[in-house]
Amino acid sequence: MSRLRVAVLGASGRLGRFACELLDRDPDFEVVARASSRDDVSVVLRGARAEVVFESTAAGLGAAHARLALEAGARPLVATSGVTPEEVADLDAFARSRGLGGLYAPNLSRGMWLLQRMAEEAARHVSACEIVELHHDRKRDAPSGTAADTARRVRAARAAVDPASASRDVPIHSVRLPGLLAHQEVLFGSPGELLTLRHDALSAEAYGPGIRAGLRYVAAASGFRIGIGLAFEAPASP
């Protein structure tokens, strides 16, 4: 079986370095390009002949880099915060026009995916919800892409049961402190009780299974979608 050719964008960052080390140890993958912030992404992608791209640069750059990957004939897995639903829709149409696919994963952790599934179920029964997301002090964007995605999923699940709740917001509280890595609490309150769902990412290892599953998923995906759960639920590519 041939190895999947991967270009890593943001290879000098914390997550990018981890992804390179992870994929270098995996016989199913071959890292064919490692781009840092100093590199011209379009030039790197045109020369790499990568099949898939792992994008982990800076918040707000994910959609532009995903489009460059698609233009180069590669399929992107975007792990950078800040890709909007409107950008996902545009990328989906562009990917389909080229017979390609991709994925925006606000969070790569299996545990966070499970937390979101539990939050969607809870939202069908308890409408009052707020989110607290806590990250290291080097994370510049707030709220996190994970928290925004969780809030979107909670609103959708709640509205499916009570359409009148569709316009009601899910407040997000952001904390940036040294000593933290990536943590999230989703709190549901009703008279006399509180339900708290919490996830703690304690090291980059939490994202390893999602990186591998996500790259395998996009290698065969059609269209550009949101959520690492699609990769965890999909059968492994042959």
Q: Which of 65, 125, 136, 139 is catalytic?
A: 139
Catalytic site residue 139?
Answer: yes
Residues 164-213: tens digit of each pLDDT: 888 899 999 999 999 999 999 999 999 999 999 999 999 999 999 999 99
Claim to verify: residue 122 and residue 166 sit in the same structural domain: yes
Catalytic residue among 65, 125, 135, 173: 135
* Same domain flag for 125 and 168: yes
Comparison of pLDDT for 235 and 62, the residue scoring more: 62
Domain holding 75, by residue range, is 4-108+205-233
135 is catalytic: yes
Domain assignment present for 238: no
On whether residue 41 sits in a domain, the answer given is yes
Contacts by 157-165, CB closer than 8 A, 24 or more apart: 157/119, 157/120, 157/121, 157/123, 157/124, 158/123, 158/124, 158/127, 158/129, 160/124, 161/123, 161/124, 162/127, 165/127
**pLDDT averaged over the chain?**
94
Q: In 3D, which of 228, 2, 1, 230 has the Cα closest to residue 110?
A: 228
pLDDT in tens, 113-154: 999 999 999 999 999 999 999 999 999 889 999 999 999 999
Q: Please say if the pLDDT value at position 226 is more than 80.
A: yes
- What letter would DSSP give residue 73? T
Task: State the pTM of this model.
Answer: 0.90
Distance CA 191, CA 212 (A): 43
**Number of domain units in the chain:** 2
Residue 79 domain-assigned (yes or no): yes
Q: 184 in a domain, yes or no?
A: yes
3-state secondary structure of 81: coil
State the CATH number of the domain containing residue 185: 3.30.360.10
**Quick one: 209 and 192 in the same domain?**
no
